[in-house]
Structure 1
């Protein structure tokens, strides 16, 4: 049996009054607010954990890609040497890796002339080389095919840029 128009109006009025009484009760509103805040905090924490994990994953991937790019760039410089003078340096690209080895082995003969011959390194490896020279001593540090080494058996970790 359907409700009459007056019954529907009475039900609406009772519903309005009940809702008004519930929301005027500060204890209920406080409890409801706490429940909503806890739910929002949980969801926010889950979202934050997800994005933090994704950010860390992307940072690792970025470091790996930077390392690969540095290795590829260093490989393109495999047959190159830098000839440094007081005014301006020259990059000499040789046709064979053996010629580079011969040139680097005989560079000591230029001592005192103001001309220096060194291996052509990428910017990041050159910066790491300078840092290692300052920390371990200039005569103890050298490079071979883009790999930094130290006479005291200290090897340089290029990826982490730490002296091990």
Structure 2
């Protein structure tokens, strides 16, 4: 049955057709949460409201702090409290750094001592002879062999190598450089060190005639007291080849002997021996150990 307008009236309870369901474009994806959570709009509003309240509270606290900091007395109290806190923290950090530095210093000293021990061990077959004047085209192997023979030690072919060590003589430092001799075996070095005291009785000018020995007179002439113009050598030494550190220790020990703070000192196998005033023997290899005896 048709209506006067010619259109069919759909009952109010009838479902909508697919063509009449409202469509949402793909651009509405930001608002599509309502399809899954009908209360999403309410939650968003609640979150926004709480955020506004938090911001408001923060602004209120900020204003209160600004107002409080205008009070000079309160500002002074806060400044002192901050300074105390910072100072305590800095003192703690400085204390920790000092402990760390002290630990590193101890480790460095131990490493230096270990390096010095290794270096000294590498020199265990070496001796130094001097002072013997230098000359052109000299043969240090021949000089060392002659000196050793003069004290009763025949080193024969036991020299590995020999040479002068240090800077050449100059007008400001005319002293001849010592001769360093590396032997092929420790037993030759030990024999020379044991017999070296015999050099006190040796006229080395005859042992090494090629050297330009200075002319000594009077008391300086050890072999002909009272004579003048005789070409004789000054005292010649045979010493162990020590590292720079141990050479400093040995020199310091000799100074203590001259100052009569110790009775005697000598070296053996790179170790400095010291005899104290109480006749006690001490082995030292570092200045730290020697300073204990000097106190």
TM-score (normalizing by structure 1): 0.83
Distance in 2 (alpha carbons) for counterparts of 1:88 and 1:11: 87
**Aligned partners of 2:273 and 2:284 also within 8 Å:** no
Runs of 4+ with >3 A deviation? 10-20
**Aligned partners of 1:78 and 1:97 also within 8 Å:** yes
Q: Which is worse superposed, 116-125 or 83-92?
A: 83-92
Counterparts in 2 of 1:17 and 1:96: CA distance versus 1, 3 Å: closer
Task: Note the C-alpha offset of 1:27.
Answer: 1.6
2:129 is matched with 83
Distance in 2 (alpha carbons) for counterparts of 1:145 and 1:60: 26
1:157 is matched with 284
Distance in 1 (alpha carbons) for counterparts of 2:183 and 2:58: 92
SS at match of 1:110: helix
Aligned residues: 160
Task: Note the C-alpha offset of 1:14.
Answer: 6.3
Task: Note the C-alpha offset of 1:109.
Answer: 2.2
Task: Note the C-alpha offset of 1:47.
Answer: 1.0
Counterparts in 2 of 1:74 and 1:11: CA distance versus 1, 3 Å: closer
Deviations 1:98-135 (A, max 9, x none): 11111111112222534311111111111111111111
Task: Note the C-alpha offset of 1:16.
Answer: 6.5
Counterparts in 2 of 1:143 and 1:11: CA distance versus 1, 3 Å: closer
The one of 233, 256, 261 aligned to 1:135 = 256
Task: Note the C-alpha offset of 1:12.
Answer: 9.0
1:103 is matched with 192
Q: How do residues 5-154 of structure 1 correspond to structure 2 at under 5 angstroms?
A: 18-86=64-132, 87-111=176-200, 113=204, 114-137=235-258, 140-151=264-275, 152-154=279-281
